[in-house]
Amino acid sequence: MVKTLTESTAGIDADLLRRFDVAGPRYTSYPTADRFVEAFGKTEYIQALEQRKEMVGGSAPLSVYVHIPFCESVCYYCACNKVITKHHERAGEYLVALRKEIELTLRHLDRQPQVSQMHFGGGSPTFLSDAELEGLMGDLRQAFRLQPGAEVSIEVDPRTVNAERLAHLRKIGFNRLSFGVQDFDPDVQKAVHRVQSHDSVVDLMREARALGFESINVDLIYGLPLQTSTSFARTVAQVAALKPDRIALYGYAHLPQRFKPQRRIDAAELPQAGDKIQMLAGAISGFLSNGYSYIGMDHFALSTDSLAVAKRQGRLHRNFQGYSTQPDCDLIGLGVSSIGRVGATYSQSVKTLPEYYDALRHDALPTARGLALNRDDLVRRAVIMALMCQGRVEFESIELAHLVDFKRYFAAELEKLHALAETGMVEIEPGAIQVTALGWYFVRAVALVFDRYLQADQQRARFSRII
């Protein structure tokens, strides 16, 4: 096995990757969604919305997430909340419910609140017809005021669009795309029930560029059945040649006891841990040698992309959609299972369509659970997000914002960090913690040290592995 990757990643070797191949959250929030409780429901969510209206009114922009759960076919690796159906007419009832949810939400916000970021996820948002997407965008524009330069993005299953559909997405206001590719190897595609040709994605990328989409992301997954380090290296090379602005590279987490579609995957065909480490090592080397910057965790961006620029300038943020250039702001989640953040609270909608429809028929917001953060949660969130986004925690800034003595409050955590400092992942300064260039590749492991909820190792099994 090749030990070191490239000069730009010198110090990362297979032994280090293997040592930190542990389970842990992705920290799109802290506390993480598995800590949400049913004691936080629609009443508490409404209170959070009302408090926001009183405190900030329309001055602070929002982020909006819209969940479209439908897919025509199941991808066996998928862990998303989705509804598999070929009956496109089912979308009609869902869109009626979404409009109702928008209406109920706006009752507790200022009229036409500003929005700086809007994202359609799923499922497959492109399950909706062109007319349905245009109608939904019209409803959202009527409800919210998109700021000039707002990021308006949509997740796209390449099998569901063509040049004409991409042109329509651009016409109705989307300026960013995320293509779900996962792997270009035909055998791997068959094993996970997601067949799409390399040539079709090449054509779609070319069309998207010509249409002027500001940013194009490609999602990849390593650790899928029948993948090898050699086959995945081909996919990495093919994606790098396409030059998407951003790349999200996820490690497959095989949790068939939690996600029913994964039971169709033959566990005997999954690559071993050592093979996964080689895939990750090769992908890091491949993307860095093709002009990409490593943003953090599983994300890469061209050095000219706004995400890479934001990282260099210390302006990186993180929300439920991952890394973002947008300032930290409240998030309104719309649709079944969607998650939102308002002030010092998180909320999540019910996870099934019958529950979702029933709540809205009764003029009730579909909030199922959530969390009101306590003082300790807020302090730790600030530390974890600083690590995940800036790679640096200044003790004084935490002390001033949260009125704590950092070294005393986090004495046990600072002690644990010494082990990571010995590996070269962090530097502990008199008044700060600095994640090193090497440490960026294991930033989740650094953040784990400050997660009060995961002090016991046995609690981590619910999460994906870092590698």
Q: Read out DSSP for 151-196?
A: EEEEEE-GGG--HHHHHHHHHTT--EEEEEEE---HHHHHHTT---
229 and 312 belong to one structural domain: yes
User: Helix (H, G, I), strand (E, B), or coil: what is residue 293?
Assistant: strand
| Residue 277 one-letter amino acid | I
Q: Within this chain, do residues 4 and 109 fall inside the same structural domain, yes or no? A: no
Query: Does residue 345 lie in a domain region?
Result: no
Please tell me the predicted confidence (pLDDT) of residue 449: 94
Asked if 151 and 120 count as a contact pair (C-beta separation under 8 A), the reply is: no
Q: Per the structure block, which two tokens stand in for 111?
A: 């009229």
Same-domain pairing of 10 and 100? no
Residue 359 is assigned to a structural domain of this protein? no
My answer on whether 216 and 326 are in the same domain is: yes
Q: Tell me: do 279 and 392 sit in the same domain.
A: no
> pLDDT tens, position by position, for the chain (467 residues)?
333 334 334 445 667 766 776 667 888 889 999 899 999 999 999 999 999 988 866 578 999 999 999 999 999 999 888 999 999 999 999 999 999 999 999 999 988 899 999 999 999 999 999 999 999 999 999 999 999 999 999 999 999 999 999 999 999 999 999 999 999 999 999 999 999 999 999 999 999 999 999 999 999 999 999 999 999 999 999 999 999 999 999 889 898 998 999 999 999 999 988 888 889 889 989 999 999 998 877 899 999 998 999 888 888 888 887 888 877 789 999 999 999 999 999 999 999 999 999 999 999 999 999 999 999 999 999 999 999 988 899 999 999 999 999 999 999 999 999 999 998 999 999 999 999 988 887 888 899 999 999 875 545 555 555 55
- What is the model's pTM? 0.90
Which helix (H) or strand (E) is 148 found in, with range? Answer: strand 145-156
How many structural domains compose the chain?
2
Q: Reduced to 3 states, what is the DSSP secondary structure of residue 198?
A: helix
Q: What is the end-to-end Cα distance of the chain in Å, rounded?
A: 17
Instruction: Establish if 467 belongs to a structural domain.
Output: no
Which two three-digit tokens encode residue 338? Answer: 């969607």
- CATH code at 165? 3.80.30.20
DSSP letters spanning 203-218:
HHHHHHHHHT-SEEEE
Q: Decide if 284 contacts 10 (C-beta within 8 A).
A: no
Q: What is the pLDDT of residue 22?
A: 66
Q: What element of type H or E holds 147?
A: strand 145-156
Q: Which of 273, 304, 332 is the last residue of a domain?
A: 332
Helix (H, G, I), strand (E, B) or coil at 9: helix
Q: Which of 335, 347, 369 is nearest to 123 (CA)?
A: 335
Statement to judge: residues 10 and 153 lie in one domain? no
The domain boundary, picked from 301, 332, 363, lies at 332
Does some domain include residue 337? no
The CATH number for 379's domain is 1.10.10.920
Residues 89 and 14 in one domain: no
Q: Is 394 left (phi over 0), alpha (psi -120 to 50) or beta?
A: beta
Domain enclosing residue 273, as ranges:
57-332
Query: Does a structural domain hold residue 113?
Result: yes
Geometric angle at alpha carbon 258, from 127 and 91, rounded to 5°: 20
Count of C-beta atoms within a 10 Å radius of residue 444: 26
What pLDDT is attached to residue 2? 31
d(CA 439, CA 446): 8
Q: Across-strand partners of 30?
A: none
Both 10 and 68 in one domain: the answer is no
In a domain, 43, yes or no: no
Residue 350 belongs to a domain: no
Q: How far apart, in whole angstroms, are the C-alpha atoms of residue 157 and residue 420?
A: 39
In contact, 236 and 283? CB cutoff 8 Å: yes
Task: Measure the CA–CA gap between 320 and 90, rounded to whole angstroms.
Answer: 27
Q: Looking at the structure, do residues 383 and 281 belong to the same domain, yes or no? A: no
Residues 25 and 62 in one domain: no
In a domain, 322, yes or no: yes
Tokens linked to 10: 């010198």
Q: Are 172 and 133 in contact (CB under 8 A)?
A: yes
- 26 & 137 share domain: no
413's tokens: 């955590």
Q: Are residues 109 and 156 in the same domain?
A: yes
Q: Which of 279, 310, 332 is the last residue of a domain?
A: 332
